């Protein structure tokens, strides 16, 4: 099957919590490939680990090395916060007989930053059959999924006429290294490929939403 321009829509039961400005589709796919071929619990913490993608190698097209996959497009542009706590009510706490600073009864308070949208769209250029296989593993999007955030209800993949995975109407749809641009309205140092938490992948980029013009033949 040939790679084609695709629009991928996630319908959700619960909104997506995020711990970074953008949610990258190629990051999601990379995580799914790693989950099938690696053991994240046995891997060194915060060290990039290479996993051979096997037959998923062409799931997403590369253009000048840049994955043809957009960041998430949410129905709503706003972001909200939510606090939730865990605490134990007992007379034993006042008597000093119950430790709430650690262990099972530890009290905590967490902050979630989330987008209220229940529909998330990505644009990608890739092989539909391989992406369908990998997306069958996706149950949640975003951060704090153990709390239920970003639970996926359904995924729809549609073939579209025009590739919108890197730019759409002159707007960057993902981080694009400025070395590949003949024009960009703004630039910041950003990770531009997975894993997005790795400092090795940071470069001066036009961010998603910037006005850009790619160099010819790039």
Instruction: Decide if pLDDT at 27 tops 60.
Output: yes
What per-residue string of b and e applies to 32-51 under the rule 16 or more CB within 10 Å gives b?
bbbeeeeeeeeeeeeeeeee
Of all residues in the chain, what percent are helix, strand and coil, respectively (each to 5)? 15, 35, 45
Single pTM value for the model: 0.85
Give the CA count within 13 Å in the CB-facing half-sphere of 27. 22
Question: 26: closest CA among 214, 208, 215?
Answer: 208
Order of strands across the sheet with 80-86? 16-17, 108-115, 80-86
The secondary element (H helix, E strand) that includes residue 29 is: helix 25-37
Residues 37-77: pLDDT tens digits?
766 555 566 666 666 667 788 899 999 999 999 999 999 98
**Cα-based distances in Å from 138 to 141, 152, 198, 199, 215:** 8, 8, 22, 26, 35
Q: How many CB atoms lie within 10 A of CB 143?
A: 18
Q: Report the C-alpha gap between 201 and 191 in whole angstroms.
A: 5
Mean pLDDT, the chain, as a whole number? 87
For residue 42, what pLDDT is reported? 59
Lookup: tokens for 101:
């600073």
Percentage of the residues of the chain whose pLDDT score is greater than 90: 60
Q: Do the bridges between strand 212-214 and strand 181-184 make them parallel or antiparallel, or are there none, so unpaired? A: antiparallel
Q: Report the C-alpha gap between 8 and 204 in whole angstroms.
A: 28
How far the first Cα of the chain sits from its last, in Å, is 24
Lookup: tokens for 51:
């996993």
Residues 77-112: pLDDT tens digits?
888 887 777 666 655 455 555 666 666 667 767 778
Lookup: tokens for 31:
């995580």
1 or 168, higher pLDDT: 168
């Amino acid at each position: 099957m040939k790679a084609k321009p695709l629009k991928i829509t996630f319908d959700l039961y619960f909104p997506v919590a995020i711990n970074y400005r953008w949610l990258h589709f190629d990051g999601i796919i990379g995580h799914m490939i790693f989950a099938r071929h690696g053991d994240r619990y046995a891997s060194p913490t915060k060290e990039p680990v290479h996993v051979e993608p096997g037959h998923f190698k062409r799931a997403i097209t590369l253009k000048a090395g840049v994955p043809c996959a957009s960041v998430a497009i949410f129905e709503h542009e706003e972001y909200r916060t939510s606090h939730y706590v865990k605490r134990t009510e007992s007379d034993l706490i006042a008597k000093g007989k119950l430790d709430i600073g650690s262990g099972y009864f530890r009290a905590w308070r967490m902050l979630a930053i989330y987008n209220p949208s229940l529909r998330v769209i990505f644009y990608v250029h890739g092989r539909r059959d391989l992406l369908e296989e990998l997306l069958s593993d996706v149950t949640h999007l975003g951060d704090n999924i153990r709390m239920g955030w970003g639970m996926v209800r359904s995924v729809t993949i549609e073939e579209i006429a025009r590739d919108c995975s890197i730019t759409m109407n002159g707007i960057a749809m993902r981080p694009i290294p400025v070395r590949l641009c003949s024009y960009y309205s703004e630039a910041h140092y950003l990770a531009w490929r997975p894993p997005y938490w790795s400092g090795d992948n940071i470069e001066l980029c036009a961010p998603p939403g910037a006005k850009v013009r790619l160099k010819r033949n790039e």
